[in-house]
Chains A and B, each alone.
Chain A
Amino acid sequence: MEANRNCESVQPELLGWLAGDLSAADQRAVEAHLAQCPACQQELTAVRQLWDALGTVPTPEPSEQLRPRFYSMLAEFQAAEVQKHRWSVAGLLERLREWWQPAYALRLAYSVALLVVGLVVGYGLKGRPETVGPDSPPLAAASQPASNPAAVQQVHLLEQLANPSAVQRLKAVSNAEEVAPTNERVLAALLSTLNQDPNVNVRLAALEVLSSLTEEPMVRQGLIKSLTQQDSPLVQSALADLMVQLQDRRSVRPLRKLLQQENLNQQVKSKIEQSIETLSNDQAPHPSTPPTSHETHPDIRSDLAPTVAA
C-alpha cells in the first residue's frame, strides 16, 4: 500500500509495531520505512528503551486483605440478592410452584365447593326467619303440634323477641316468665337477648327474668359467660351483683377478665373487684373451676342465634 510513508506518519506506529499490534499492511509499511530512514530507527530505539523501561516499573502485589474483603462482599451481595428474590413477584411464583402439587388442585376445589355449600346453607337459614310474615306458618311450629297452645305461645314469644321494636321485645321478655320459663328454647332466646339486644333496658329486663331462673344450670352458665360480653356498665354491675348472690365461684375468672377490659366504668370496676373478693373469700375453693367458655351449648345457641339477632 503506502510503501513511502513519511517519518511523521510512521512514528506514531512505532509503539504499535513494538507491541505487535499493527495490521499486516501497516507493519509492512513501517518496516519498509524503517529500513531506509536512520532518523526513525533512532526514534525506534528511544521508544523501545522507554517502552521497556516502563515495563520494568513494578506493580506491587495487592495486600492480603483484598481477597477476604472481596469474598465477604460477595457473600453479602448474595445474601441481599436472595432476600430480594424472595420478595419479588418471580420469586414468590417460584416458591408457590415448588410448594404446589397436583393433588392440591382437587383438595382446593373440594374446599371451595364445601365453602360454597356452607355459605348457601348459612344464607338460607339466616334468610328464612326474615321472610316469614306474621300470617305465614311460623318456622318453629313445624316441629311442634300446631294444636298445642303452649307451643304456639312459645313460638309467638320467640318471634316477639326478634321484633325490631324495643317495647315489643321488652314485653316479650316479661311474658317469657309466664309462658314457658323452663323451656330450653326460651331460655336460650333470653340469654341471647341478654347478650345481643341493642337496647340496654331490654337486656336488663332479660337479666331480671333470668336471675329468677338460676336453678337451671344452663342459665347459670349462660350468665357467667355473659359477663365478658357486656359493654354497658349497668348490665355489668347488675351481673356482678347477681354473681355474688349466686355465690358461684366459676364467675371469678370471667370477672377478672372483665376487669382487664379497657374503658371499664370506674364504679363498675370497683364493684367487680369487690365481687371477686367476696366470691373468693366467702366460699371454700371449688374443686374444679372449668373455664366457662367450654360450657356453652353451641347446638342450641347457633340454632337460635339468627332468630334473636335479627
Chain B
Amino acid sequence: MLQVKAGQVEKMALLFERYHRPLYGFFYHSNGHPATSEDLVQNVFYRMLKYRHTFTGEGEFRTWMYHLARNVLADAAKKNKPSAHHQDIADWAEKLAGGPTADAGLQQAQDVELLHQALGQLSAEQREVLVLSRFQELKYEQIAQLLDTTVGAVKVRAHRALGQLKNIYLKLENGSKQEL
C-alpha cells in the first residue's frame, strides 16, 4: 500500500487480488446482500485510491482497509437500503418449513441458514465484532484499534454478541419447528 501511496497506483491490483474476497465476506456477512456487497467492495477500493495519502504505514494495512470498509458500510446503511437479513425472514421460514427436513445434510444446511439469519438480526455493533473476529479473523488487538476501544471491551462485546446470537438462533429454530 505504501507503494500505491508513493504513486504506483497499479500496485493496487495486488491488493485487490489479495483482499477482495475477505472484503466481500465482510460485507456479505454484514448485510447479507451479494450484489450490494460487490458494490461496496468496489467502493472500498475506490476509496483506498482516493484516500491513499491517509494511510500512514504505521498501523497494519488490514486495519486501515477495514476502517474504510466500515465507513463504506455505514454510508450505505444511511442510504437506507434495508438489508436482506431483515427483509425476508418470513420467506425463509416458509422455505425452511417446506423443505424435507428428514435429510441430515439438509438439516445442517438449514441450521447454517438459520445461523445466517440470526447473524442478520444482531445489532450492527454486535454483528460487526463477530464478523471481524470470526470471518475476517482479525485479532482482538486489531479490532480494538479499528473500533477505537480497548481489547477488554472487544472481548466483552464479542462474548455478549455470541450469547445474543445463540438466543436469536434458538428462537428462530423454535419458530421454524413450530411451523412444521
Residues of A within 8 A of B (CB): 11-16, 19, 21, 46-47, 50-51, 53-63, 65-67, 69-71, 73-74, 77-78, 81
Contact = CB atoms under 8 A, between A and B. Distances in A.
Contacts of A14: 159
A54 B20 contact: no
A77 B115 contact: no
Contact of A58 (B20, B112, B134): B112
B5 interface: no
Sort A-B residue pairs by CB-CB distance and give the 8 closest, nearest first.
A12-B159, A59-B25, A62-B24, A12-B155, A66-B38, A77-B49, A57-B116, A12-B156
B112 A57 contact: yes
B65 interface: no
B155 A15 contact: yes
B10 to A, nearest CB: 7
A62 B20 contact: yes
A67 B18 CA distance: 12
A61 B28 CA distance: 10
B138 to A, nearest CB: 9
A57 B41 contact: no
B171 interface: no
A78 B166 contact: no
B34 A60 contact: yes
Contacts, number: 97
Contact of A66 (B24, B130, B134, B158): B24
A72 to B, nearest CB: 10
Interface residues of B, number: 41
Chain B CB count within 10 A is highest, among A14, A51, A70, for A70
B66 interface: no
B96 interface: no
A60 B112 CA distance: 13
B74 interface: no
B9 A53 contact: no
A78 B45 CA distance: 13
B126 interface: no
Given A59-B29, A67-B16, 15 more contacts: A15-B159, A16-B140, A19-B133, A46-B166, A50-B162, A50-B166, A54-B165, A56-B115, A58-B112, A62-B20, A62-B41, A66-B41, A73-B46, A74-B12, A74-B49
A12 B140 CA distance: 12
Contacts of A57: 29, 112, 115-116, 119
B145 interface: no
Contact of B165 (A19, A50, A66, A78): A50
B162 A63 contact: no
Given A15-B158, A59-B25, A65 B111 contact: no
Contacts of A56: 108, 112, 115
B21 interface: yes
A19 B136 CA distance: 12
Contact of A16 (B9, B20, B29, B155): B155
Given A53-B115, A54-B115, A71-B13, A63 B42 contact: no
Nearest to A60: B34
A61 B20 CA distance: 10
A70 B42 contact: yes
B31 interface: no
A194 B122 CA distance: 95
A15 B112 CA distance: 20
Interface string B107-138: 01001100110010000000000100111000
Nearest to B129: A15
Interface in B31-68: 34-35, 37-38, 41-42, 45-46, 49-50
Contacts of B165: 50, 54
Contacts of A61: 21
Contacts of A74: 9-10, 12-13, 16, 45, 49
